[in-house]
């Protein structure tokens, strides 16, 4: 029974694995496990030469129930459930592997252990093959994912086991070499040790039976022909997570393979027990000597004799007996090399007879024996993982050919091939179409979760029905919940009430305002008229649907350009290919997304969605690989678009603006803009659409002069040339019967007088219709917006220059103290004791008060008409911004304010409007400083309105690219400005100190320091003459505006001019 200190060690170790449990819970769990296993000692080994590496050990009796140990390993010793257990046995003493054999063995074993997450079981000693395996594991290139290396040894055979008997938190193990017979030191690279105490001292082999039973318990009949373990059980064991099971009932079989290197008679017995008794396949490395060479030779001879006797058509009994006698004679020398001379005093039934054990393996489980010749020339290129996989697959090929058993074997083979990601092996073992008549549902889901793209493609190529696999919407939910990336990054709770609520939780944050994810499969979303609504395509009832409703088609829209209709099945079924495609993108499965994209519909739309989501991924995770994936999907969309445009340009233009129900009624153009797909937008077809949208119905052959003239003389626009709608409108309504046709012909044969009258009426209607088309064109709206913005700037400029007067009388008519007023103040202070001077000053003040006020400070009873007009104008602009915000709110599920402020020009609009009303309110406060502040605020606001006009130039072909260049240069100038001001201060402060010496502190000193250093750079010292003596608030504001102007003009715009040439 474990003592209290030992129990504390266990509590500490288990607490790391079960952090959510309380200490009392952990203590109870550990106590229960120790009691069930009858643990004699437990602790942690620390090896002095490698203190960073620690190994847990446990000492158990030899008659323990191995199922308890297996459960203990699964729960408390290793952090992940294995997909494979590799048991290595063989040369235990002076074995040395040849360098030619060692290289492929070391490389292959390390690769298999790392890629499959395998456990490795050895004897744990620092000798022979066990030492070699420890050294191989030590060179693991990824220390963050250590390879579990479990050593199982006899307690009495361990050197210095006495120091491990005392309970304690840590035990320092310093026995690395031992010359004593009957003992061996422990290998220091093992992660776990299990010591089997059979009561013996200095005797090896007491752990063989325990180890064999433990491996059998882990395998749990995985390869047994009697077991009913199928792919469903295997899938469930791996589908949700690789974490450890919490209940013994959840522990499922794990494939175990035995690797044999050299070895003696005990190794032969180990192979026989593993292969015959425990149904565990063995891989024997021919060329390493003794046991392996014996099995290799025996297997080769056995196959030859067996095929020869089959051709001779001998009876089964005679054939087996004759083959056995032949083998005994041919293997006599090899068996003697292992068993040695027999002792006459030893009873016959107790003598070692390796031949009987070898023959039993050949006769009963020949398909479990796999011999690999490491002496061949191709041994350097051996794929050790493939060798082990083939051994596992061969073990599943039994003699039972019943339909049920064959199906179970095929599922196991596919599962193993999928687990190892070897689709080539799966194709080799499942060759016929008839072999695919098995249930692939669980394997397909496992392939999705394991990101096995090649297997997903293989299953889809063999007509795996996605609708049958995902007939339950909860499968999609589980798919999202089972993805580690989704749980870690998106924090999925799994508490959604609806089956697809988790999809809403994940996808919505990526598609933002471009889609609303609706769970149409919930009963609440179904209405009695849902099928009718879906039939008319008024509301898109799919998983990825827009929040707004589509307008029903009227006579302005042709049925030829309406969006393809959804079938009634979309109400009760989801587009599985599309949902899997979205999941693969969000989960970061790039290859899988490409596969699903290639097999799905709406390829351009899907590619642009991928572009959008990958860019958001890249921005959030700061990972350039997502940008590469986004560019790859954009290039795919560009290739398809270019191909379509070359084939049929008119159809391509229609497709660009066609709404896609499967993606929320979005069209390619909207998605390209949302995804910032510049390469896609730059294509000729898209640019043609932009031009057609820009000019509306106006014929593009009309000159700009005629269009501009028509904006001033609107009556002239009715005579311009116009083209058909962007998408041609044709009445395809069929005439259903002859009477309708006759009526139609009769109407065409009306009287000539009526026809001429109707024609005149039609021309007049067409004239006003042309004017309406002209006004509705985006280009015309842009021109009128430009005209009014210019008028706004002219009025605002006139106001701030000539028509901004105070509404009150002020005692002072300066915006803050100027330099002259400061001098006058100092003079008065110096002579304040002289009565004559005081009287003289008083009389001067009275005289100055009676003088006329300087221009600009005359009182007005009310604001000017221009100022009132501008206030109303800006108020209408404020209403427009509120309308935009409200429009975003009605279509957005996120924060509409944040969405609105993502656009730089919207930020500038808000700032400009706020500053205008701040200045407008300040001018009503009867304080001179407030009036001056209003003038400063409005002056700065006027600058912002001028800058705002740059956005209007973006549509000009020659100016738009320059604005993009300026925005990029501003981003690059951020760090330059920081360095720029560092050098200004580095020069300005020392220069001012040396020239002016020590002066009384004043805030004006900072301006003087900056002016000296700053203006020297541009050589514009004369620019200071205007404001250098003005220390008022307006002087400071003017200085700041002048400095900003010089910086932009001399650095930004000059660099832009250089870049253009």
Evaluate if residue 800 carries a pLDDT over 70. Answer: yes
- 531-535, 629-633, 660-664 — most confident range: 629-633
> What confidence category does residue 913 fall into, taking pLDDT thresholds of 50, 70 and 90?
very high
Question: Angle 290-312/332-339 helices, nearest 10 degrees?
Answer: 150
Give kind and range of the element (H or E) at residue 241. none
Task: Note the pLDDT tens digit of each residue in 1011-1053.
Answer: 766 766 666 556 566 666 666 677 677 777 777 777 776 666 6
Q: What are phi and psi of 660, to 5 degrees?
A: -110, 110
**How large is the average pLDDT for residues 575-589?**
85
Least-confidence region, from 470-479, 491-500, 634-643, 816-825: 816-825
Least-confidence region, from 485-489, 649-653, 859-863: 485-489
- DSSP letters along 169-225, please? SEEE-------STT-BPBPTT-SEEEEEE-S-SS-S-TTHHHHHHHHHHHHTTTT-T
Q: What is the pLDDT of residue 30?
A: 64
Higher pLDDT among residues 845 and 274, named by residue: 274
**How large is the average pLDDT for residues 232-248?**
45
The answer to whether the CB of 1039 falls within 8 A of the CB of 1007 is yes
**How large is the average pLDDT for residues 712-726?**
82
Strand partners, 256: 85
Of the candidates 246, 366, 230, which has an alpha carbon nearest to the alpha carbon of residue 298? Answer: 366
Sequence-distant (6+) residues with CB within 8 A of 193 are 45, 55, 56, 57, 58, 124, 150, 151, 152, 153, 186
Q: How far apart are CA 876 and CA 864, in angstroms?
A: 19
Angle at 98 between CA 93 and CA 104, to 5 degrees: 110
Q: What is the pLDDT of residue 220?
A: 83
Task: Note the pLDDT tens digit of each residue in 355-377.
Answer: 999 999 998 888 899 998 877 66
> What confidence category does residue 665 fall into, taking pLDDT thresholds of 50, 70 and 90?
confident
The answer to whether the CB of 7 falls within 8 A of the CB of 34 is yes
Q: How far apart are CA 190 and CA 169, in angstroms?
A: 18
Handedness of CA 81, 83, 89, 95 (dihedral sign): negative
**How large is the average pLDDT for residues 537-549?**
35
Evaluate if residue 1061 carries a pLDDT over 60. Answer: no
Of the candidates 190, 224, 248, which has an alpha carbon nearest to the alpha carbon of residue 72? Answer: 248
Q: How far apart are CA 1059 and CA 1053, in angstroms?
A: 10
Q: How far apart are CA 78 and CA 81, in angstroms?
A: 7
CA distances from 376 to 95, 100, 285, 384, 724 (A): 20, 10, 11, 14, 78
> What confidence category does residue 420 fall into, taking pLDDT thresholds of 50, 70 and 90?
confident
Q: How far apart are CA 443 and CA 30, in angstroms?
A: 36
> What confidence category does residue 830 fall into, taking pLDDT thresholds of 50, 70 and 90?
very low
> What confidence category does residue 74 fall into, taking pLDDT thresholds of 50, 70 and 90?
confident
Q: How far apart are CA 58 and CA 47, in angstroms?
A: 16
The answer to whether the CB of 258 falls within 8 A of the CB of 274 is yes
H and E: helices and strands count for the chain: 45, 12
Q: What is the pLDDT of residue 121?
A: 94
Sequence-distant (6+) residues with CB within 8 A of 531 are 568, 571
Q: How far apart are CA 718 and CA 772, in angstroms?
A: 9
Q: What is the pLDDT of residue 111?
A: 84
Q: What are phi and psi of 564, to 5 degrees?
A: -60, 140
Sequence-distant (6+) residues with CB within 8 A of 607 are 597, 633, 634, 636, 637, 640
The answer to whether the CB of 109 falls within 8 A of the CB of 147 is no
Q: How far apart are CA 404 and CA 394, in angstroms?
A: 18
Q: How far apart are CA 211 and CA 871, in angstroms?
A: 90
What's the per-residue H, E or C state across 570-586? HHHCCCHHHHHHHHHHH
Least-confidence region, from 466-475, 631-640, 774-783: 466-475
Task: Note the pLDDT tens digit of each residue in 315-330.
Answer: 555 677 888 888 888 8
Q: How far apart are CA 818 and CA 244, in angstroms?
A: 80
Higher pLDDT among residues 545 and 987, named by residue: 987
Evaluate if residue 380 carries a pLDDT over 60. Answer: no
The whole-angstrom distance between residue 1060's C-alpha and the CA centroid of its chain comes to: 39
Helical spans, DSSP H, in 117-165: 128-138
- The domain spans of the chain are 38-286, 491-695, 704-776, 817-844, 960-1060
- DSSP letters along 448-488, please? HHTT-HHHHHHHHHTT--HHHHT-STHHHHHHHHT-HHHHH
Q: How far apart are CA 983 and CA 512, in angstroms?
A: 44
Task: Note the pLDDT tens digit of each residue in 81-93.
Answer: 788 899 999 887 7
**How large is the average pLDDT for residues 948-953?**
83
Evaluate if residue 866 carries a pLDDT over 90. Answer: yes
The order of strands in the sheet holding 119-122 is: 170-172, 41-47, 50-61, 192-197, 149-154, 119-122, 85-90, 256-261, 282-286, 369-373
Evaluate if residue 635 carries a pLDDT over 90. Answer: yes
Task: Note the pLDDT tens digit of each residue in 490-542.
Answer: 545 444 444 454 455 555 555 555 554 443 333 333 333 333 333 333 333 33
**pTM exceeds cut of 0.85:** no
Evaluate if residue 554 carries a pLDDT over 80. Answer: no
* Greatest alpha-carbon span in the chain: 150
> What does the radius of gyration of the chain's CA atoms come to, in whole angstroms?
44
383: left (phi over 0), alpha (psi -120 to 50) or beta: beta
Task: Note the pLDDT tens digit of each residue in 263-314.
Answer: 888 889 889 989 998 889 999 988 888 899 999 999 988 888 877 655 555 5
Least-confidence region, from 2-11, 797-806, 1023-1032, 1035-1044: 2-11
The answer to whether the CB of 193 falls within 8 A of the CB of 184 is no
**How large is the average pLDDT for residues 247-267?**
79
Evaluate if residue 558 carries a pLDDT over 60. Answer: no
- 208-222, 469-483, 889-903 — most confident range: 208-222
Average pLDDT, the chain: 74
Evaluate if residue 209 carries a pLDDT over 70. Answer: yes
Q: What is the pLDDT of residue 6?
A: 45
> What confidence category does residue 871 fall into, taking pLDDT thresholds of 50, 70 and 90?
very high
Higher pLDDT among residues 457 and 383, named by residue: 457
Q: What is the pLDDT of residue 747?
A: 47
Least-confidence region, from 45-54, 71-80, 819-828, 988-997: 819-828
Least-confidence region, from 126-130, 467-471, 869-873: 467-471
Q: What is the pLDDT of residue 818?
A: 44
- DSSP letters along 686-733, please? HHHHHHHHHHTTB-TTS-HHHHHHHHHSGGGGGGS-B---SS------
Q: What is the pLDDT of residue 607?
A: 93
Q: How far apart are CA 882 and CA 876, in angstroms?
A: 10
**How large is the average pLDDT for residues 226-235?**
49
């Amino acid at each position: 029974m474990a003592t209290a200190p030992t129990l504390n060690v266990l509590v500490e170790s288990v607490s790391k694995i079960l952090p959510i449990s309380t200490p009392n819970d952990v203590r109870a769990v550990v106590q229960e496990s120790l009691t069930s296993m009858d643990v004699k000692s437990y602790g942690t080994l620390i090896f002095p030469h490698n203190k960073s590496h620690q190994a847990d050990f446990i000492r158990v009796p030899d008659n323990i129930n191995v199922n308890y140990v297996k459960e203990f390993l699964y729960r408390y010793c290793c952090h992940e459930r294995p997909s494979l257990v590799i048991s290595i046995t063989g040369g235990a003493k002076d074995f040395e592997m040849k360098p030619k054999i060692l290289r492929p063995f070391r490389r292959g074993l390390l690769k298999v252990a790392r890629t499959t997450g395998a456990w490795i079981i050895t004897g744990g000693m620092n000798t022979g093959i066990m030492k070699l395996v420890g050294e191989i594991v030590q060179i693991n290139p990824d220390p963050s994912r250590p390879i579990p290396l479990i050593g199982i040894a006899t307690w009495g055979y361990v050197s210095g086991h006495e120091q491990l008997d005392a309970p304690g938190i840590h035990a320092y193990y310093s026995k690395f070499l031992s010359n004593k017979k009957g003992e061996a030191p422990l290998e220091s690279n093992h992660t776990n040790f299990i010591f089997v105490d059979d009561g013996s001292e200095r005797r090896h082999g007491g752990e063989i039976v325990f180890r064999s039973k433990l491996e059998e318990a882990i395998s749990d009949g995985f390869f047994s022909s009697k077991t009913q373990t199928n792919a469903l059980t295997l899938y469930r064991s791996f589908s949700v997570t690789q974490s450890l099971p919490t209940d013994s009932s959840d522990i499922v079989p794990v494939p175990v393979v035995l690797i044999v290197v050299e070895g003696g008679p005990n190794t032969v017995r180990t192979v026989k027990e593993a292969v015959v008794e425990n149904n565990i396949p063995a891989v024997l490395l021919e060329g390493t000597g003794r046991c392996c060479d014996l099995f290799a030779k025996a297997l080769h001879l056995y196959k030859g004799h067996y095929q020869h006797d089959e051709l001779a058509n001998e009876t089964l009994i005679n054939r087996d007996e004759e083959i056995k006698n032949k083998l005994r004679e041919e293997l006599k020398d090899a068996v003697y090399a292992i068993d040695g001379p027999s002792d006459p005093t030893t009873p016959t039934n107790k003598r070692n007879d390796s031949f009987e054990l070898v023959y039993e393996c050949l006769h009963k489980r020949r398909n479990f024996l796999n011999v690999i010749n490491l002496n061949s020339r191709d041994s350097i290129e051996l794929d050790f993982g493939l060798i082990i996989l083939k051994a596992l697959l061969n073990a599943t090929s039994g003699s039972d050919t019943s339909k049920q058993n064959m199906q179970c074997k095929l599922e196991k083979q596919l599962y193993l091939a999928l687990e190892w990601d070897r689709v080539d092996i799966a194709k080799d073992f499942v060759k016929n179409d008839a072999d695919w008549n098995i249930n692939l549902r669980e394997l397909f889901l496992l392939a999705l979760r394991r990101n096995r793209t090649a297997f997903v493609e293989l299953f889809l190529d063999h007509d795996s029905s996605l609708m049958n696999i995902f007939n339950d919407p909860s499968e999609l939910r589980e798919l999202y919940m089972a993805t580690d990336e989704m749980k870690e990054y998106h924090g999925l709770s799994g508490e959604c009430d609806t089956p697809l609520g988790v999809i809403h939780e994940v996808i919505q944050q990526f598609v933002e305002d471009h889609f609303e994810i609706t769970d149409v499969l919930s009963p609440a979303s179904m209405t009695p008229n849902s099928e009718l609504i879906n039939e008319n395509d008024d509301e898109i009832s799919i998983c990825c649907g827009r929040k707004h409703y589509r307008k029903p088609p009227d006579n302005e829209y042709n049925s030829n350009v309406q969006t393809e209709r959804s079938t009634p099945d979309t109400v009760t079924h989801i587009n599985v290919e599309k949902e899997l495609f979205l999941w693969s993108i969000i989960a970061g499965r790039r290859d899988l997304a490409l596969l699903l994209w290639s097999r799905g519909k709406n390829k351009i739309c899907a590619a642009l969605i991928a572009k959008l989501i990958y860019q958001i991924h890249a921005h959030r995770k700061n990972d350039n690989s997502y940008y590469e994936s986004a560019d790859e999907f954009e290039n795919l969309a560009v290739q398809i678009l270019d191909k379509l445009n070359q084939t049929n340009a008119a159809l391509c233009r229609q497709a660009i603006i066609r709404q896609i129900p499967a993606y929320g009624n979005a069209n390619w153009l909207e998605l390209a803009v949302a995804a910032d797909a510049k390469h896609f937008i730059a294509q000729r077809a898209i640019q043609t659409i932009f031009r057609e949208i820009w000019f509306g119905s106006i014929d593009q052959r009309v000159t700009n002069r005629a269009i501009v003239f028509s904006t001033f003389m609107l009556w002239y626009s009715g005579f311009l040339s116009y083209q058909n709608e962007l998408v041609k409108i044709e009445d395809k309504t069929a005439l259903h019967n002859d009477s309708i046709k006759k009526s139609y012909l009769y109407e065409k044969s009306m009287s000539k007088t009526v026809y001429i009258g109707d024609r005149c009426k039609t021309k007049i209607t067409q004239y006003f219709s042309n004017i309406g088309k002209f006004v509705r064109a985006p280009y015309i709206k842009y021109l009128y917006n430009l005209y009014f913005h210019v008028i706004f700037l002219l009025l605002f400029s006139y106001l701030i220059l000539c028509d901004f007067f105070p509404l009150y009388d002020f005692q002072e008519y300066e915006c803050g103290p100027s330099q002259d007023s400061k001098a006058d103040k100092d003079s008065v202070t110096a002579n304040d004791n002289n009565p004559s001077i005081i009287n003289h000053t008083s009389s001067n003040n009275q005289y100055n008060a009676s003088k006329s006020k300087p221009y600009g400070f005359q009182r007005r009873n009310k604001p000017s008409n221009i100022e009132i007009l501008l206030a109303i104008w800006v108020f209408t602009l404020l209403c427009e911004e509120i309308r935009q915000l409200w429009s975003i709110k009605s279509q957005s599920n996120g924060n509409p304010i944040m969405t609105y402020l993502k656009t730089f020009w919207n930020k500038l609009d808000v700032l400009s409007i706020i500053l205008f009303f701040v200045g407008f309110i300040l001018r009503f406060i009867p304080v001179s400083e407030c009036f001056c502040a209003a003038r400063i605020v409005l002056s700065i606001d006027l600058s912002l309105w001028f800058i705002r006009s740059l956005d209007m130039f973006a549509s000009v072909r020659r100016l738009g690219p320059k604005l993009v260049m300026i925005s990029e240069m501003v981003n690059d100038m951020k760090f330059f400005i920081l360095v720029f001001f560092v050098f200004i201060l580095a020069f300005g402060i020392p220069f001012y100190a040396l020239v002016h010496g020590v002066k009384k502190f004043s805030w004006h000193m900072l301006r003087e320091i900056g002016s000296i250093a700053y203006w020297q750079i541009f050589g514009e010292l004369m620019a200071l003459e205007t404001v250098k003596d003005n220390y008022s608030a307006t002087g400071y504001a003017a200085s700041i505006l002048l400095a900003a102007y010089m910086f932009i003009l001399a650095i930004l715009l000059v660099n832009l001019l250089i870049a253009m040439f």
